[in-house]
Chain A
Amino acid sequence: MGDIEKIAASVASLQESFEAHNYICSDQIATAVFLAYQLRKPILIEGPPGVGKTELAKTAAEMFALPLIRLQCYEGLDESKAIYEWKYGKQLLYTQVLKEALDEVLQGAKGFSESVKRLHEFGDIFFSEEFLEPRPLLKALKEENGCVLLIDEIDKADNEFESLLLEILSDYQVSIPEIGTVKALAEPPMVFLTSNNTREISDALKRRCLHLYIPFPDADIEQRIVAARIPEIPPELQRQLVAFIHELRTLDLKKQPAISETIDWARTLVLLHAEALDPKLVTDTLNVILKFQEDIENVTTEVSSITARITK
């Protein structure tokens, strides 16, 4: 408990701690996490794919030593998969059992009304917590020491699903008609939502969250990221590699290489025992960073000129 508070006490300590967990983050990112913790607000993270949105939540969980509960969104996701579901199998089984025992229960009951009264004594046990199957969101609320809840790619889910999230995001609670309201225990979960911007997120949802946009990092930070992830990379190669990726991002590509591609590429080059970039090496490994044939073809013609520019 105390640990979390210590880490989240200032932006600087957060940044340090992130770095200790191999996640190099800009001031902006650290500030957002700081505010999210201090104000107990969810963060909505947007940005191009592969800049470490999901990674941020994962690292935060690791750093705070909290369990990570992840809800991957997709089209058609609904409350029975996100919040809770009744264990209908168990319910069915129990009714069968109960049917057999019914005579015993009703033994000695006089008349219909008394029987009904006795039955009522059972209450609505079929719709009690024992028969409730918690899904990620409910599970997150029930974590006693708090947790990190990652709602990944919220833009993939339907509009309606966003409305379903509103209650949990603003009040850290869920209403289940048969049971009532389930509130978060002492420590509400830290909520991270990520979006790739395939569609606009509704204003209602945005209003309830802090908003963090993670762009592609600048060369300096990206070099530090590569160094943190692949410590064995030669420094000169690391510099050239990042410079090359940055050149690529200025081109008109179908999909620009993200940090994850930079890291993959760095790994590849280290495996190949490369010391520096050269046109042949780049051309051979281009498919690690570019995911469309069209892009690869376009870039291939540029490779030698870009390589010349950054290795001089």
Chain B
Amino acid sequence: MSMDRTISNFIRALRNADVRVSTAETLDALGAVELVGYRDKAYLKRSLATVLPKTVDEKDTFDACFDQFFDFQDVRGEQSPGGSGEDQSEEQEGEDGESGDGEGGGSSGEEPKGKKKKSKSKAKKNNLYEEEEEADLGPGEITDPKSTLGQLLMGNDRVELSMAMGAAGEETNVRDIKIFTQKGLYTRRIMDAMGLPDLNREIGDLRTSPQVPARRLGQQLKARRDFLREQVRDYVEKQFLLNADVSGKRLREELLRKIKLSNVEHRNFRLIQEIVYKMAKKLSALHSRRKKIFKRGALNVPRTLRHNMSYDGAIFDLHWKSVKVDRPKVFAICDVSGSVANYARFMLMFLYSLDEVMPKVRSFAFSSDLAEVTELFNRNKIEDAIAKTLRDYGGGSTDYGQALLDFKKNCLDDVDNRTTIIILGDARNNHGEAHAEVLKEIYDRSKRVIWLNPEAKLAWNTGDSEMRKYGAYSHQVEECNSLMHLERVVGNLLKQIA
């Protein structure tokens, strides 16, 4: 029962970390735990690693999560074999097998902490703020603390302390923590639940006490209280990481979908990438059925015979093997000069994330001269390929005319009536020769030319923008500057080529 709870809490933490765990897998995990037990942590980890995470990425996440989660559980379950704590919270006995491995690891971890505690209180003494007059009481007699928390602190039993902390955590429902601003609140609540008010009162009393041993105690208690606060803060932090609701993330994702891609800050790139993958996955699922167009091919002998059984074996109802039509092609030509680079980044990301349903994509990058980067994308991970593309071909002033000429020279022969060409760029040609006639040639040969312009429609045709000339030779011209636009464009694209 309680074992189930530990696992289900762990799975909740995993889900928060974006590892998809289904109910069936939860049951498998329970089955595995039943077999394996909690005794050997490495063994448990290996076992759960085969049951819960199902991709290499997820395995990495799983490893981190497991270490974090069961490290914490360890602290709570760590107890001397004899002394059974009286106020064990429900998940306590989950670690009934703790005596083996966890214990050894725990006690070795205890020492540095204890030292830290000492040095901490020393540092406090040297710090001397508001404690000046009591700073040097020296070693000697100390009276016994009266409040429960005080006794706990002076008992110096880290295990009991963390158990009390865990219990207080349960009491204050720290697992429900949602957003990071709540961290302070929960820290305070847990401290209160552990009996902070009593302790504070006691410390107050002690510090004004005339007796030296009592004042000495007050000082000690204060240092330990500060230490405890730090511990609680750590604990809440951990709980936040494990349990924080994804709604905050979802909110951010929602915003990022609509934001102009050029405004995306660097730190959000990873998240954007995730969103792109998600969108791509959705589109993949939507279009994977549609992509298969079958054509009559060779005679399917078994099927024909089988279907003609009922006609006395006389073969007149013919069945054919179906053959998949060669997949159509997509050429993506991206302006990667400064202003448009970010859009190019996300569009390429999108196109290559769709490789399951997307026909063969060939991609080209240019700022003035055009270069094919298909091979780069085939050999590298998407992110690396994009970074390399931007590094090698980005920067420099834009010359659409030259890029079109280059394209004509190198690849026009490969363009046929099944080819879709996507051009991403703002059409700002620095007043150079537009060479729209080249685009016309491409337009005539290809199935579709789609021009995506990241600028707002109002800004088209102003200044050095050649959108009007190019737009004339495009089947479709679209404003495209957010993930939502991208999703729509690519979605339509998939519909048309399928």
Spell out A's residues near B (CB within 8 Å).
Answer: 11, 27-28, 31-32, 34-35, 38-39, 41, 43-44, 46, 80, 85-86, 88-89, 91-92, 95-96, 99, 126, 159, 199-200, 203, 206-208, 210-213, 254
Contacts and interface: CB of A to CB of B under 8 A. Distances in A.
Contacts of B50: 28, 31-32, 35, 43, 210-212
Contacts of A32: 50
A157 B261 CA distance: 38
B59 A213 contact: yes
B356 interface: yes
26 contacts: A27-B46, A28-B50, A31-B43, A31-B47, A34-B35, A38-B35, A39-B31, A88-B309, A92-B305, A95-B309, A95-B312, A96-B313, A99-B312, A126-B309, A159-B288, A203-B20, A206-B55, A207-B22, A207-B24, A208-B24, A210-B28, A210-B51, A211-B50, A211-B55, A213-B56, A213-B59
B87 to A, nearest CB: 36
Interface string B17-42: 00010101100100110011000001
Contacts of A203: 20, 54
Nearest to B20: A203
Closest A-B pairs by Cβ, 9 of them: A206-B54, A31-B46, A88-B305, A32-B50, A210-B50, A211-B54, A92-B313, A88-B306, A39-B31
A80 B302 contact: yes
Interface in B210-227: none
B49 interface: yes
A112 to B, nearest CB: 19
Contact of A35 (B35, B42, B54): B35
Given A35-B32, A35-B35, A159-B288, A95 B46 contact: no
Contacts of B356: 199-200
Nearest to A91: B309
Interface residues of B, number: 30
A85 B53 contact: no
A43 to B, nearest CB: 7
Contacts of A199: 356
A38 B306 CA distance: 42
**B-side binding surface: helix, strand, loop or mixed?**
helix
Contacts of B379: 254
A46 B56 contact: yes
Contacts of A38: 35
B47 A35 contact: yes
Interface of B: 20, 22, 24-25, 28, 31-32, 35-36, 42-43, 46-47, 49-51, 53-56, 59, 288, 302, 305-306, 309, 312-313, 356, 379
Contacts of A41: 28
Nearest to A43: B50
Question: Which of A35, A85, A126, A208 is the most central at the interface, judged by chain B CB atoms within 10 Å of its CB?
Answer: A35
Contacts of B42: 27
Contacts of A80: 302
Nearest to B53: A211
Given A91-B306, A200-B356, A254-B379, 12 more contacts: A28-B46, A28-B49, A28-B50, A31-B43, A35-B32, A35-B47, A39-B35, A95-B313, A203-B54, A210-B50, A210-B51, A211-B53
A48 to B, nearest CB: 11
Contact of B302 (A34, A88, A200, A254): A88
Nearest to B313: A92
A203 to B, nearest CB: 7
Question: Which of A34, A89, A95, A208 is the most central at the interface, judged by chain B CB atoms within 10 Å of its CB?
Answer: A34
A64 B466 CA distance: 72
B86 to A, nearest CB: 36
Contacts of A92: 305, 309, 313
Contacts of A31: 43, 46-47, 50
Given A39-B28, A95-B312, A203-B20, A86 B306 contact: yes
A11 B45 CA distance: 14
Contacts of A95: 309, 312-313
Nearest to A159: B288
Nearest to A95: B313
Nearest to B21: A207
Contacts of A34: 35
Nearest to B300: A80
Nearest to B322: A76
A96 B36 CA distance: 61
Contacts of A212: 50
Contacts of B51: 35, 210-211
A80 B305 CA distance: 14
Contacts of B22: 207
Question: Which of B28, B46, B306, B379 is the most central at the interface, judged by chain A CB atoms within 10 Å of its CB?
Answer: B46
A42 to B, nearest CB: 11
A228 B313 CA distance: 58
A211 B49 CA distance: 8
Contacts of B31: 39
Contacts of B32: 35, 39
Question: Which of A39, A43, A208 is the most central at the interface, judged by chain B CB atoms within 10 Å of its CB?
Answer: A39
